[in-house]
Structure 1
Amino acid sequence: MSHTNALSFPPPSPSTGTAPGVSQDRSQDRGVVLQVKGLVTDFNTASGTVHAVRDVSFDLHKRQRMAIVGESGSGKSALAMSLVGLVPQPGRVTGGSVKLNGTEMVGLDDAGISRIRGKDIGLVFQDPMAALDPLKTIGSQFVETIRVHQDVSVKAARKMACDLLGEVGVTDAKRRIADYPHQYSGGMRQRVLIAMAIANDPSVVIADEPTTALDVTTQAQVLDLLAKICDERGNALVMITHNLGIVEELCDSVNVMYAGRFVESTSARALFESPAHPYSKALLNCVIDPATTKRGALPAIPGSPPDLSIDEPGCPFAARCPIGRDEPRCATERPESRALASGAVVRCHFASDIPGDEA
């Protein structure tokens, strides 16, 4: 159930994008669990309306692990918050549809969203210290998360919480459940958030930059844990990140986001082997390989992202693009999404002319 014109990508072969040590058999029961069509999110500010998310559409299938990548300010986190009804003021979803297991979420009141969020869709936040209440124990927050959505006693919820903490690698969970967030390390706090996100067996887990503040070793542990949990429980995963290494290790498919829109949707393997959009190529060129990168200036994309409060004609990447800078069409005509022979779906007038594209 894929919408080609909407930059959606069907579930890829389960042999792609699998973290080391994780089962690759995710091919069963691949029905759509999250369907997004034409999503628009705006922020009305004193200096004008910021169009943070512009006409975003995709289908997420059961057990699929999808990445959304792009520079800071591309709209990734605004999209994540839009999907779970947590867009901060002065922002709001102004158009489009978000259906979770067939239930429309756009337009639901706070009570309706609250019944879904945390139960059918879980969220792992970027900053666990900000997501957890520093004045409450881990146990009290965890028990509340469970009892809001499940009719169980405090004792039963506490046992469930201990079991889940043990499952995500918190040692001596029966004792540590009484600790406060500041008594946990950054990696352990992130494990707590993962456990809380899956506590009510959601269909979809959204992880918004979940390893940003962690060291490399802890990052790898958290990513392996996310992959293991989603594989074992059958959750679909949306990974919001700017780290392409995470995409290569963890994800099946990827949507590259720029200026609030998806500009390329493809499999994770295809993105690294033959990126179709100039922005995708530019992102990959900025990945540093310590074995080959010489000392001196670090690779960077020239120019700056566009002002999202200005809805200018043409391709938003044109001024930074090696092709678009010299093409009048790119400055005046906004590219529509189209499918290439390779299977990638892109917003680019000249994607088929880029070396490496199979179209």
Structure 2
Amino acid sequence: MQSNSLSLPAPRVAGDGGPDAERHDPVLSVRGLRTDFVTAVGTVHAVRDVSFDLRKGQRLAIVGESGSGKSAMAMSLMGLVPPPGHVAGGSVKLNGTEIVGLDDAGISKVRGKDIGLVFQDPMAALDPLKTIGSQFVETIRVHQDVSVKAARKMAADLLGEVGVNDAARRLSDYPHQYSGGMRQRVLIAMAIANDPSVVVADEPTTALDVTTQAQVLDLLAKICDERGNALVLITHNLGIVEELCDSVNVMYAGRFVECTSTEALFASPGHPYSKALLDCVIDPATARRGALPAIPGSPPDLSVDEPGCPFAPRCPIGRDQERCAVERPQPRTLSNGAVVRCHFAYDTQGETA
């Protein structure tokens, strides 16, 4: 594959394994997306030449370490990149409509209607001075021409759908009167209130205990299956990915280094970074006392655009290869259909190709 941009291979559509699955037009199409943060000490290139397609019903995970660019990419899709950041280039199309370059009014018409967001911290995302009902009604009425009464009825129905008991009464409660898990359910309900084509969930279970995490993830899967929403899940938790998603893009230093199916990633990771991430997953059933597995070294400085592979200094293969230090790897397709950026990718069962 001779392209400068790593793209997701044609994915299976969740709930549809038939021959027509790959022919669906993408609901979200990203090409060459770049996001920069201009600081006093230099420009940080947080997202570098990211491309992928997302189809109806597909569940795509974006995984990587902290600082890999995952959340910056999610905020770029939503038009929510905070200062001093900005989308520096590329294209983001929602249902065929370009959203990069839209003014505040234009992006506000899209955000919440065509694409919904589930934030990482529900307490920070909700206004503590307003009731859940008033915030929910506002979310609905911004995009739908309905009365306050009708919007409250819709809000109560949605809260009931996501598992909030006595939903009509609880619309009058404030965010602090909900538990962390219930607040996250509220955010999920708000994200789907206007029936968006795409839901972006940015580390949606970080602030929750393990039991509540499982409940929220099951809810996300159920909602997307029933409504046909496409899902972009931003996470560093590969256990979540295996349970919830059908496709995975592995991100490192602002770029996708592997795009593959979830099944292929866990059976035979192609990029050394993907394998390193999987090696760091602890299995309680087999774990022994001692040092926890970790990837040596630190992620690169994203304000410096050095030649070669950015993972090379930390890579068990690349740190001994001159080519990796001087030549940036281009995308290539492996025998299992995965697309990787690596000169010495593992191609089937850990053998380099």
TM range (shorter): over 0.9
**Corresponding residue to 1:313 among 270, 289, 307:** 307
**Corresponding residue to 1:63 among 35, 38, 57:** 57
Contact 1:315 / 1:332 at 8 angstroms: preserved in 2? yes
**Corresponding residue to 2:133 among 129, 139, 149:** 139
**Corresponding residue to 1:256 among 246, 250, 256:** 250
Match in the other structure for 2:175: 181
User: SS at the partner of 2:251?
Assistant: strand
How far the C-alpha of 1:3 sits from its partner, in A, is 10
Contact 2:9 / 2:339 at 8 angstroms: preserved in 1? no
Cα deviation digits, residues 63-86 of structure 1 (max 9, x gap): 100000000000000000000100
Contact 2:12 / 2:58 at 8 angstroms: preserved in 1? no
Match in the other structure for 1:43: 37
Contact 2:271 / 2:346 at 8 angstroms: preserved in 1? no
Q: Which amino acid aligns with 1:227?
A: A
Cα deviation digits, residues 267-292 of structure 1 (max 9, x gap): 00000000000000000000001111
Contact 2:336 / 2:348 at 8 angstroms: preserved in 1? no
TM norm structure 2? 0.96
Q: Does 1:295 align with 2:294?
A: no
Shift of the 302–358 alpha-carbon distance from structure 1 to 2, 3 Å rule, reads closer
Structural RMSD (CA)? 1.7
Q: Does 1:203 align with 2:201?
A: no
Shift of the 257–134 alpha-carbon distance from structure 1 to 2, 3 Å rule, reads same
Q: Does 1:7 align with 2:19?
A: no
Match in the other structure for 1:236: 230
**Corresponding residue to 1:224 among 212, 218, 221:** 218
**Corresponding residue to 2:342 among 342, 348, 352:** 348
Q: Which amino acid aligns with 2:180?
A: G
Contact 2:2 / 2:330 at 8 angstroms: preserved in 1? no
Q: Which amino acid aligns with 1:77?
A: S
CA distance in 2: counterparts of 1:335 and 1:25, whole angstroms: 34
How far the C-alpha of 1:358 sits from its partner, in A, is 9.1
CA distance in 2: counterparts of 1:3 and 1:167, whole angstroms: 46
- Gapped regions of structure 2 (runs ≥ 5): none
Cα deviation digits, residues 18-38 of structure 1 (max 9, x gap): xxxxxx447676321000000
Cα deviation digits, residues 250-309 of structure 1 (max 9, x gap): 001000000000000000000000000000000000000111111111000000000111
Q: Which amino acid aligns with 1:8?
A: S
CA distance in 1: counterparts of 2:206 and 2:258, whole angstroms: 24
Aligned length: 350
CA distance in 2: counterparts of 1:311 and 1:215, whole angstroms: 39
Q: Which amino acid aligns with 2:281?
A: V
CA distance in 2: counterparts of 1:356 and 1:299, whole angstroms: 19
User: SS at the partner of 1:95?
Assistant: strand
How far the C-alpha of 1:337 sits from its partner, in A, is 1.1
Match in the other structure for 2:86: 92
How far the C-alpha of 1:10 sits from its partner, in A, is 3.7
How far the C-alpha of 1:357 sits from its partner, in A, is 5.4
User: SS at the partner of 2:142?
Assistant: helix
Identity among equivalent positions (%) equals 82
Bigger mean CA deviation after superposition, 48-57 or 29-38: 29-38
Q: Which amino acid aligns with 1:303?
A: G
Contact 1:190 / 1:210 at 8 angstroms: preserved in 2? yes
How far the C-alpha of 1:342 sits from its partner, in A, is 1.5
CA distance in 2: counterparts of 1:356 and 1:70, whole angstroms: 20
Shift of the 353–120 alpha-carbon distance from structure 1 to 2, 3 Å rule, reads closer
- Gapped regions of structure 1 (runs ≥ 5): 16-23
Q: Which amino acid aligns with 2:321?
A: E
Cα deviation digits, residues 296-324 of structure 1 (max 9, x gap): 11000000000111111110000000001
Q: Does 1:81 align with 2:75?
A: yes
User: SS at the partner of 2:265?
Assistant: helix
Match in the other structure for 1:161: 155
Match in the other structure for 2:240: 246
Contact 1:205 / 1:237 at 8 angstroms: preserved in 2? yes
Q: Which amino acid aligns with 2:182?
A: M
